[in-house]
Amino acid sequence: MKKISLALTSLALALSAGTAVANCDSGERVVKFSHVTGGTTHPKVVAANNFADRVNKEMNGKMCIEVFPNSTLFGDSKELEALLLGDVQLLAPSLSKFGSYTEKFGVFDLPFVFKDMDHAIRFTNTPEGKDLLLEMDDYAGFVGLGYWMSGMKYFSANKPLLLPSDAEGMKFRVQTSDVAKQMISAMDASPQAMAFSEVYGALQTGVVDGQENTWSNTYTKKFYEVQDSITETNHQLLAYLFMTSSDFLASLSDEDRAQFLQIADDVTQEANLSVKAAEAANRANILKAGGKINTLTPEQRQEWVDTMKPVWTQFEKYIGKDLINAAAGA
């Protein structure tokens, strides 16, 4: 049984950026959960620790989950491959990081396709949204256990951005998403794909001028320290695929699999119920820590929409018009 709470373990890891303390009992199956976010208030950190705490308590003696936050086990570029190799069993990567496996997930990246997280959650509960959970099972062996919302995204930069034209000629860090790259190009700016763990340094040294992220990532990774301000563009969703591999699931007994999947489902529901409050708290934390936030007038916001929305048509043939309509209309 776990002697100390996973939350504390993860916090210690985050602070030391070291390796995980193995505190599972012998005889328990050790299951590794790797992710890239940090801090204590981040929705993914909280959900991953909740999942581990529940499994470790309810499946005590059978299974023991160790959580590795902050890219301490695997970073963005290696984690999916590590899952296929069996070096890790649980991940929760951003839906924007699956470009080499499926183009369909581009639907989640389309600018202004979701009004807010409630809209995105409605889409994930449609038949189309549910099908996407298992989109890569057949050919990659990736199994989606649930969607974890993270937040809507906002631009930050080394100067205030009120209109997309303010970003002309600037360099922005993006995730490895073709949709995000085109969206930045539509602003006459340059996208630079980069691992999450490298973003703070790249902003600090001027390798890039700006980035786009949620309040929780901007706060817990302290991006506000090395940026002039953040603009409340609300232009895109950040959500995660809480996932495992089909090999791992197949290796469990029917009874253990059913229990494991039930806990995954419960924790997913809980995570999505609390994510809005976490985002609001981290927005307030940024202000308290001295970060600046620019709000937009409806006219200014409309210019962002007009600049970015044409990207939808560029990706229609890859994502599928029906899927885009299902997302936009959910």
| Residue ranges in contact with ligand LMR by CB under 6 A | 36-37, 94, 150, 175, 196, 213, 217, 238
* CB closer to ligand LMR, 72 vs 217: 217
SS3 143: strand
Q: Among residues 37 and 72, whose Cβ is nearest to ligand LMR?
A: 37
Neighbours of 159 (CB within 10 A): 12
Least Å from the CB of residue 150 to ligand LMR: 5
* SS3 label, residue 298: helix
Handedness of CA 75, 80, 82, 88 (dihedral sign): positive
CB of 217 to ligand LMR, least distance (A): 5
Closest contact distance (angstroms) between CB of 95 and ligand LMR is 9
- Shortest separation between residue 199's beta carbon and ligand LMR, angstroms: 7
Residue with tokens 């419960």: 266
Minimum CB separation of residue 211 from ligand LMR in Å reads: 7
Cα 221 to its chain centre, rounded Å, is 14
Cβ nearer to ligand LMR, comparing 192 with 259: 192
Query: Closer to ligand LMR at the Cβ: 148 or 260?
Result: 148
CB of 176 to ligand LMR, least distance (A): 9
Residue sitting closest to ligand LMR (CB)? 94
Angstrom distance (rounded) from CA 177 to CA 99:
6
Token pair 């959650």 in the structure block, residue = 121
Min CB(204)–ligand LMR separation in Å: 16
- Give the residue with the Cβ less far from ligand LMR, 94 or 307: 94
3-state secondary structure of 63: strand
Dist. CA 106–CA 79, nearest whole Å: 19
**Which residue, 172 or 196, is less far from ligand LMR as judged by CB?**
196
Task: DSSP for 76-133, please give it.
Answer: TTTHHHHHHHTS-SEE--BGGG-TTT-STTHHHHSTTS-SSHHHHHHHHTSHHHHHHH
Cα radius of gyration rounded to whole Å, the chain: 19
Nearer to ligand LMR, 213 or 294 (CB): 213
CB atoms within 10 A of CB 17: 12
